[in-house]
Amino acid sequence: MLRKRIWAAARNTLITICLIVPAYAFAQDLASEQTEDEFIIEEVIVTATRRAVSLQDVPQSITALTSQALDNMGAINLEDYALSVPGLQITKAAVGFNSVSLRGIRSIDGNTGAAVGYYLDETPVSAAFAFPEIPILDIERVEVLRGPQGTLYGEGSMGGTIRVITNKPNVNDYELEVGGQYSSTNKGGTNYGLDFVANMPFIQDTFAVRVAARVEDWDGYIDNVLRGEEDTNTTKSTFYRIAARWLASDALTIDFSANISRSEFGAYNLSNKNLEVSRTAAEFGDDDYDLYNLTVDYAFPWADLVSSSSWYTRDRFFQDDLAFAIPFLDFIFDPFGLGPFDSAWRETPEEIDMFVQEVRLVSTSDGPLRWTVGAFFKDLDRTQFIDGGAMPAIPPQFIEIVNELFFGVPGVDVLFHSEDRLNIKQLAAFGEVSYELSDRWEILGGLRVFQEDRKSTGVNTGTFLFALAGVGPITSTTSDDDTVVSPKGTITYRYNDTGLVYGTISKGFRSGGQNVDAIFVDPSKTSFGPESLWNYEMGLKSSFADGRMTFNGSIYYLDWSDMQVESAVLDLGSVIGNAGSAHSLGVDAEFVYTPIQSLQFILGGSWIEAELDEDVAIPSPPPFPPLNAPSGTQIPGVPEFTFNAAVDYYFPAFSGLNGMLHADYNYYGSTFTGLLNATGGPNSIKNPAFNLVNLRAGLEGEHWQAAVYVSNLFDERPLTALCCTDLFGLGLGNFFAVTRPRTIGVSIRYRF
C-alpha cells in the first residue's frame, strides 16, 4: 500500500514537472522576444478592507481569484477552487454539507457555529458543516482572507473569511451570454449544466438589471450494495440571480439583488474507496435558500456611507440511515410480532430565517489618516425537527403501548421526536483607523464590541429517548448572552515601492450556544460559551521583474482557547462544551510568475501544525466516563502540508482563433475526521493524503469559447472525512466522504 502511494505521488509530481518545466523554458525564449512596452500586468483590486485597494498593497494574507482564474480552472463551486488556496480545506458530504477550515481553524466535531466566514457580496451566510451552495456564475472575483477577521467581519471569522463578489449591473452596455457543459464521470453517468447571463441598461447611464441563471444535473457514482441501488448520490439544482443598480445621482448608488437556489440530492457522498456503501434506508434531501439584499451607497466628499440590509431564508430536509437502531427495534418490538426490521432512518427538516443590517462609514480622503466605523445587527431564527422511522412500519398504537409498558410513559406514539427552536440576536459596533507615519511606515488599530443574546426551546420524546436517557419527555427552555471585545493591531513597513512587510496581532471569536439535547449526556450542560483565539502573524508582499513576479507569504501562530467540542449520541442529539485549548502554527505562501503576457505560473502551499495544547475530555452518555483526547492530538480536518501548482498559456491557434491551455496539480496531506480517531489509539483512522491533476484546453473566437477538460485525471479516490463503517459483514470497511472520480467533459459559451 505504501509503495503504491509513493508511486502515485511520484507519478503525479513527474506529470506536473513535465507540464510546467517545458512551458517555463519556452517562456524564457518568448520573454526575451517580448519588449517591455508589449507587456502589461493586470492589477488585482480587492475590497477586503472595505475600500478598493491593490492586492499587493494590503498588509494581510489574501488570495484573490479573478473571474479569469476561475474560468481557467473551470470552477463551478467552492469545492473546485478550494485546493488552489493555501491553507483552505473543504470536506463536502452532499449539497449544502460543506465543512471548511482555514489555517487549521474549523468546527470541531460538532454542529456549532462556523469557524470561517462565508459572504455573498455583503451578506454573511456561513454555517458550520452547512455552507450554502453559491455557484461560480457571473462572479467578479473570490477573496479568501486568512487569519481572524473579527474587526470588520465579526463572529464566525476566527480562521478567516471567504468573500464571493458578483458582477454588478452595467448601466452602459447590453450583454447576453449563454453556455453549457456536458461531461461523463467514471463509474457514474453523464452530467450537464446550462448557464444564462443577461445585462440590460433600461435607462442609459442610470438604471440596469442583470440576470444570471444555472441549471445542473449531476449523476451519482456511489452504489448502495445493501439495497442494490447504483449511482445513488445524484444532484439536481437550479439557481437564479436578479440584480438591479440605480445611479440615482452622482453620489447615490442603490443596488438590489435576489439570489434563489433550489437543490436536491439522492444520497451523501459517503463510501469506501471502491465507491460502495451499505445503508438500510434510502437517503435523500433538499436544500433551498432565498437571499435578498438592498445596499445603499452615498458618497460624501470625505467618506462613503454604506447601508446593507439582507433577508435570508433557508429550508433544508434530509433523510439518513440509522442502521444501528435495528437491533434495538428488533428487541423491543419482537414480543408484539413486529420485525425483523429491514431499515431505520431519521427525517430532519430545518428552517432558517435571518435579517442582517450593517451600516458603515469609510473615509475617502487622500491624507495619511484613514478610518472605518460601523454597526452590525443580526436576528436569526432556526427551527429543526428530527423524527425517527422504520420499515416495516410500526403502528403508532404499538409504539404507545411499548412506551407505557416498558418505560412508564403514556400517550407517546413516536419512536423519536426532537424539536429545536433557536433565536439569536447580535449587535456589534466596530472600527479601524490607520495612519501613515511616513512614506514607509504605517500603523493600524481596530476594535469590535459584540453583544449576543440567545434563546432556545427544545423538546425530546419517544422510545429512543426513554431507553437512552431513562427519562420521560423533556421540554427545556434556556437563554444566555455574551459580550466579546475583539481588537486588532498591524504595523507595516514598505521597504520599496513594490514590497512590504507587516506584523499583526488580532483576535477572532465564535459565539456560544444552547444544548437542547443535554439530557442525553449531562443535564447540567444546558449551554456553552464562546471560543476565541489570538493571532500573531508576520507577512511579506513583494513584486519583482517589473511586476512579472510576485511572492506573498506569512508565518503565524494562533492561540485557541475555550474550544467548543461536541459529544454525539447515536446521531440523535449532541452536547457541546468548552474544553481545552489548542494552537495552530503555520506558513502559507504564493508565487506568481508571468514571464510574458500570455503565460502564467502559479505555485502555492501551506504547512500547518494544528494540535491540542492540553487534554480534552469529551463527554459520553451515562454511565460511560468521558473520552480523552490527549495534548498533542492533531486537530481534525487539517493536513500538515498542502501544495498547488498551475500553468496557463494563451496562444494564437488558427483561422484567427485563440487557444488556451490550463493544467493544475494539487497535493493534500493526510487528516483525521474527529478528535477521537486522531488520538493515536486503536480507533485512530487517517483520511489518506491525495494528489489531483486537472487539465483544460480551449479555443476562443470573437463571440464564443469552447473547451474540453479532464478533472481528476488519474482517477484518484480522495477520502476526506471518515463517516462510519459497514455494519452488515459485507467486507466494505469504513466509509468516508469521497471526491468525484475522473470526469471528462466539454463546455461551450457564446456571447452575443
Q: What is the CATH number of domain 2-751?
A: 2.40.170.20
- Domain assignments of the chain as residue spans, ordered by start: 2-751
CB 549 within 8 A of CB 593: yes
Query: What is the spatial distance between Cα 558 and Cα 505, in angstroms, rounded to a whole number?
Result: 10
C-alpha cell at 257: 439583488
Helices (H) and strands (E) in the chain, counts: 6, 44
3-class state of residue 611 by DSSP: strand
Q: Please give the residue that has the higher pLDDT: either 636 or 514.
A: 636
Q: What is the pLDDT of residues 162-201, one digit of tens each?
A: 999 999 999 999 999 999 999 999 999 999 999 999 999 9
Q: What is the DSSP letter of 186?
A: T
DSSP secondary structure of 446-465: EEEEEEEEEEEEEEEESHHH
Strand pairing class (160-166; 116-120):
parallel
Q: What are phi and psi of 260, to 5 degrees?
A: -125, 125
Match 507519478 to its residue by C-alpha cell: 11
Question: How confident is the model at residue 37, as a pLDDT?
Answer: 47
Phi/psi-derived region of residue 298, left when phi > 0, alpha when psi is between -120 and 50, beta in every other case: beta
Express each pLDDT in 95-119 by its tens digit. Answer: 888 888 888 887 654 456 778 899 9
pLDDT tens-digit readout, 215-250: 999 999 999 999 999 999 999 999 999 999 999 999
What is the distance of C-alpha 419 from the center of its chain?
Answer: 27
How far apart, in whole angstroms, are the C-alpha atoms of residue 21 and residue 419?
59
Strands (E), 267-302: 270-271, 276-277, 284-299
Q: Which residues contact 686 (CB under 8 A, 6 or more apart)?
A: 670, 671, 672
649: Cα separation from own chain's centroid: 29
What is the full DSSP assignment across 505-548? EEEEEE--EE-TTGGGT-TT-SEE--EEEEEEEEEEEEEEGGGT
Q: Under a CB-based contact definition with an 8 Å cutoff, are residues 286 and 314 in contact?
A: no
- The answer to whether residues 358 and 375 touch, using CB atoms and an 8 Å cutoff, is yes
Helices 396-407 + 326-333 axis angle, to 10: 80
The region that residue 411 occupies, defined by phi over 0 for left and psi between -120 and 50 for alpha, beta otherwise, is: left
Is the pLDDT at 423 greater than 80? The verdict is yes
Interior CA angle at 655 toward 654 and 656, to 5°? 90
User: Residue 272 and residue 598: Cα distance in Å, rounded?
Assistant: 42
Q: What mean pLDDT is reported for the chain?
A: 87
Q: What pLDDT sits at residue 36? A: 46
C-beta of residue 210 within 8 angstroms of C-beta of residue 243: yes
402 Cβ partners below 8 Å, 6+ apart? 332, 333, 336, 463
Average pLDDT over residues 409-424: 90
pLDDT at 27: 47
Q: Could you tell me the three cell numbers for 576?
A: 457541546
- DSSP character string of 335-371: GGT----SEEEEEEEEEEEEEEEEEEEEE--SSSEEE
Helix (H/G/I), strand (E/B), else coil: 581:
coil
pLDDT higher at 510 or 184 = 184
Sign of CA dihedral 333, 339, 343, 348: negative
Q: Where are the alpha helices (DSSP H) in 52-181?
A: 67-72, 78-82
Residues 6+ positions from 463 with CB-CB distance below 8 Å? 332, 399, 402, 403, 407, 412, 414, 415, 416
Share of the chain above pLDDT 70, in %: 88
**Highest mean pLDDT (candidates 362-371, 456-465, 478-487, 579-588):** 362-371
- Residue 581's closest CA among 618, 537, 615, 555? 615
153, 346, 456, 514, 586 from 425: Cα distances, Å: 16, 30, 12, 14, 35
Residue 664's closest CA among 649, 681, 654, 678? 649
Indicate whether 350 pLDDT > 70. yes
Look-up: residue for cell 505521488? Answer: 9
